[in-house]
Each structure stands twice: as C-alpha cells, then as structure tokens.
Amino acid sequence: MTTTLPLPAPPAPTDTPDPSAVAAAARDAVKTYGSGDAAVHALDGVSVDFSRGRFTAIMGPSGSGKSTLMQNVAGLDTLTSGSVSIGGVELSSLSDRQLTRLRRDRIGFIFQSFNLVPTLTAKENIELPLDLAGRQPDQAWFDELVSTVDLGSRLGHRPAELSGGQQQRVAVARALVSRPEIVFGDEPTGNLDSRAGGEVLAFLRDAVDRLGQTVVMVTHDPGAASYADRIVFLADGRIVDEMTDPTADRVLDRMKRFGH
Ligand code: ADP
C-alpha cells in the first residue's frame, strides 16, 4: 500500500509570522505493540503536519490507528520509533517533568466521556487547568469562552445537573481556557445526540475561525468531520488519503468507495 505524504511546508519568512505554521507534527511515526508474529503495527510510518489555526479531523476504520496517532502526538504515549513535536518542540527531547508541563500548558483535551470532576461546579471545572498550573484566569477570555459556549446561567451547577451537551461544552471550555497551542478531541461528540453534537462542533469551528485555535479531532462520523478544514484518512496504521474542505456527502462517498 502506498502512503501519501504531505509535502513539506515551505520555509517561513523570518520577518512575518507564517499563518500556515505547524502546531504539531509526526515524522515516520511507528508504534508497535507486541513482538514477533504477534506484533501489531498500530502506526506504520506516519508523517503528518497539523497546521496552526486549522481544524483537522482524523478518520479511518476501527483499529486503523486514529487514537494511537492522537495519543502520541499529544504526548500521552511514546512511539516505538519516529518523532512528534508540538509547537516545534520535539517531545522526545523533554524530561518527564517537562512533558507533563507541556501537556498541561500547551495542550487541551476533549474526551468522548466528558471527564468532568463530579464534585466541582461547571465554573470550577473550567478553571481546573489554570488552578493546577497555579495561574489566574484571564477574566475577559473566561467571560468570552463562557458566553460562547452559552453556559452563563449554568456555571454554578455540577455536572450531574447538566445535560450531556452542556457537560461537553464545559469540557470544551476547560480545554480552551489556557489558550493551548492545540486542542485534541477523541470522538468528542460520540456520546451526544446530533443537536448537542452540532453545538459542540460549531463551537470548535468558531474557536478556530475567530480565535485562531488549532483543533485535531478523531471521529468516525462524516457529519462531524465536515466541520473540519481537512481530513486525514488512516488505514492499517498509515495515512492513505486526505480531503480538504470536506462536506458530509463527500466523506460518505469516500467511505463507501473504500468499503468502510
Ligand atoms: P482506532 O483508534 O483507529 O480504532 P487504535 O489506535 O485504537 O485504532 O488501534 C490501532 C491498533 O493497535 C489496533 O489493532 C489495536 O488493537 C492496537 N492496539 C491499540 N492499543 C493497544 C495496546 N495497548 N496493546 C495492544 N494493541 C493495541
């Protein structure tokens, strides 16, 4: 199977900021579980750039390596070989403590299962990453986030008192509150009905368009993927295709052609 590798980005001019700068990248990423005949190549040589200020979806059949790619680019796991970088920082060059700090300060996560702290209010959950980092919230930014996720009247409520869509919007605000370099979502709308999922996706889209946020999202849902600027398709641990400016119909069509 041939692997379609993206062309390297042209060198950035030194005097002007490069809007297409890379927020995160993987180079020749290999992740192998087990050994010998039992070896599973979850990633089999993946090179990909995630551009700053863009929304990228990662798609592919179950077991194709989507979660493994995301976990490794996010520094939650380590590759068998190859490299990943966040904001130009090679993760393998960091000590455990530096990696923990980079994850805390420069990466936001949104999981399928919301992962909110049940005993904290919505407001406290949103502020948690800042509390852990010993940082004060930027009040203007906090207010903008809260009004954008439309949670103003629910801030004093605990997760159990919120709908699934509201809980995930709290999780999205929490992921964005520290203005991370990049936000990773692993099926962030997987537990939501289509209306609530649409609200969360529209918010992520807005964060990219208005705030220049970088988002990388794993999804199997063509409708969710259509919110992205670009889709990277994985199969058997390799990138096999890409699509820019996707629509749900084009994604569905592509999935039908490839039999998944
Ligand atoms: P996807 O997210 O596309 O469903 P994954 O990245 O979860 O795929 O998995 C890719 C492959 O790696 C699968 O064959 C899976 O069984 C295997 N795999 C993932 N995690 C582990 C693990 N901890 N131990 C062994 N095999 C694993």
Model pLDDT for residues 212-225, shown as the tens digit of each residue: 899 999 999 999 99
Structure-model confidence comparison of residues 123 and 137, the more confident one: 123
Number of domains making up the chain: 1
Residues paired with 26 in a beta bridge: 48, 84
CA gap 22, 119 in Å, rounded: 38
Amino acid 6: pLDDT: 52
CATH number at residue 224: 3.40.50.300
Q: What is the atom index within ligand 1 of the atom nearest the CA of 43? A: 10
Does residue 42 lie in a domain region? Answer: no
Q: Are 62 and 46 within 8 A, CB to CB? A: no
Ligand 1 atom 18 nearest Cα: 42
Instruction: From 35, 41, 46, 67, give the residue whose CB has the most ligand 1 atoms within 8 Å, as the site to mutate.
Output: 67
Task: Let me know if residue 189 belongs to a domain.
Answer: yes
* C-alpha 68 – ligand 1 centre gap (Å): 7
Q: Is residue 204 part of a domain?
A: yes
Statement: residue 259 has pLDDT above 80: no
Question: Quick one: three-class SS letters along the chain?
Answer: CCCCCCCCCCCCCCCCCCCCCEEEEEEEEEEEECCHHHCEEEEEEEEEEEECCCEEEEECCCCCCHHHHHHHHCCCCCCCEEEEEECCEEHHHCCHHHHHHHHHHHEEEEECCCCCCCCCCHHHHHHHHHHHHCCCCCHHHHHHHHHHCCCHHHCCCCHHHCCHHHHHHHHHHHHHCCCCCEEEEECCCCCCCHHHHHHHHHHHHHHHHHHCCCEEEECCCHHHHCCCCEEEEEECCEEEEEEECCCHHHHHHHHHHCCC
Task: Judge whether 31 lies within some domain.
Answer: no
Q: Which amino acid is at 166?
A: Q
CA-nearest residue for atom 15, ligand 1, is 63
Measuring from atom 5 of ligand 1, which residue has the nearest CA? Answer: 65
Question: Residue 2 pLDDT > 70, yes or no?
Answer: no
**Ligand 1 surroundings by CB, under 6 angstroms:** 33, 40, 42, 60, 62-68
Residue 35 has pLDDT above 70, yes or no: yes
Which of 32, 33, 64 maximizes ligand 1 atoms within 8 Å of its Cβ, making it the mutation to test the pocket?
33
Is residue 19 included in any domain, yes or no?
A: no
Mean pLDDT of the chain: 88
Residue 22 in domain: no
Cα(62) to ligand 1 centroid in Å equals: 9
| CA 13–ligand 1 middle distance (angstroms) | 40
pLDDT digits (tens, 9 = 90+) for 78-115: 999 999 999 999 999 999 999 999 998 899 999 888 89
Shortest-distance Cα residue to atom 27 of ligand 1: 33
Is residue 198 included in any domain, yes or no?
Answer: yes
- Report the percentage of the chain scoring pLDDT > 90: 62
Domain containing 171 equals 55-79+93-257
Q: Which atom of ligand 1 is nearest to the CA of 62?
A: 4
pLDDT band, residue 73 (cuts 50/70/90): very high
Here the tokens at position 234 are: 């994985």
Residue with the smallest CA separation from ligand 1 atom 25 is 33
Q: Is residue 155 part of a domain?
A: yes
What is the reported pTM? 0.87
State how far the Cα of 36 lies from the Cα of 172, in Å rounded to an integer.
Answer: 41
